Amino acid sequence: MKIAKTTILFALAIGLISCGGEKKEAAKTETNTEMTEAKEASYAISIENSKVVWKGTMMGMYSHEGDIALKSGALSTKGGIVIGGDFVIDMKTINPTDDNFGEENPREYLIGHLGTGDFFASDSIPTASFKITGAEGNSATGDLTIKGVTKSATITDITVAEENGMVTATGNSVFNRQDFGIAYKAAKDTVLSDDIELTISLSGKAN
């Protein structure tokens, strides 16, 4: 009897495990089917309603942050997920929005300095860009070009809202300024954080 009971329990356990695996596989298959059946949508980005917010930190002291405008952009989605796209940033529109300024270091000085060769050299290289090369879930990888240098970068925490032929997508990214030759060649450079934080907000209309 004990052997019979053990055999029955073992069979039940195997059955439950099998059913659980089947349910997971069914859910995975259903998700893949939804993505396959979903239609792709392409959007032209509205430069008036899109921007990139940036933040740079003086380590242990304070930070500067602001926004910068786009010159152009496009976005492709499928099933509510970003699958492709690109955008171009107008480096001459750097706009600090924080209050960490004073008489000795006015806002206008920071704007002017960021446009020099110490930082973005926007007079000679007026644009930066990002082009998606791969995407999965709520992340996208691509080629980030700043100051004429191209490196791989990732945009994370992407959210997408689509309605009535319009799209709004946001995401975050961090890049190391040293990788792009953005190095203020002075003693003060040692207190500037290498990481520049970006929050990208794109809005557009279906093509």
Q: Per residue in 26-51, pLDDT tens?
A: 555 555 555 567 899 999 999 999 99
Both 15 and 56 in one domain: the answer is: no
Q: Which structural domain range is residue 8 located in?
A: 1-37
Of residues 130 and 5, more confidently modeled: 130
Residue 184: band (very low, low, confident or very high) from pLDDT cuts 50, 70, 90? confident
Same-domain pairing of 102 and 133: yes
Where do we find the tokens 């004429």? 148
Beta-ladder partners of 63: 57
| One domain for residues 9 and 101 | no
Task: Report the number of distinct structural domains present in the chain.
Answer: 2
Cβ(40)–Cβ(77) below 8 Å: yes
Spatial separation of the C-alpha atoms in residues 98 and 25, rounded to whole Å: 50
The torsion region of residue 148 among left (phi > 0), alpha (psi -120 to 50) and beta comes to: left
Same domain as 84, residue 11: no
- Residue 114 belongs to a domain with what CATH number? 2.40.128.110
Do 167 and 188 reside in the same domain of the chain?
Answer: yes
**Average pLDDT score over residue span 94-118:** 92
Q: Does residue 30 share a domain with residue 46?
A: no
**Torsion angle (degrees, nearest 10) of CA 16, 22, 26, 32:** 130
**Are β-strands 95-96 and 149-163 bridged in parallel, bridged antiparallel, or unpaired?**
unpaired
CA distance 156 to 172: 5
Looking at 14-23, 37-46, 130-139, which range is the least confident one?
A: 14-23
10 plus 54 within the same structural domain: no
Is 17 in the same domain as 44? no
pLDDT at 62: 83
* Residue 65 and residue 11 share a domain: no
Residue 17 has pLDDT above 50, yes or no: no
**Domain shared by 162 and 178, yes or no:** yes
Is residue 57 domain-shared with residue 121, that is, in the same domain? yes
Per residue in 137-178, pLDDT (tens digit) is: 999 999 999 999 999 999 999 999 999 999 999 999 999 999
Same domain, yes or no: 32 and 45: no
Query: At residue 24, does pLDDT exceed 80?
Result: no
* Number of other residues whose CB lies within 10 A of the CB of residue 169: 24
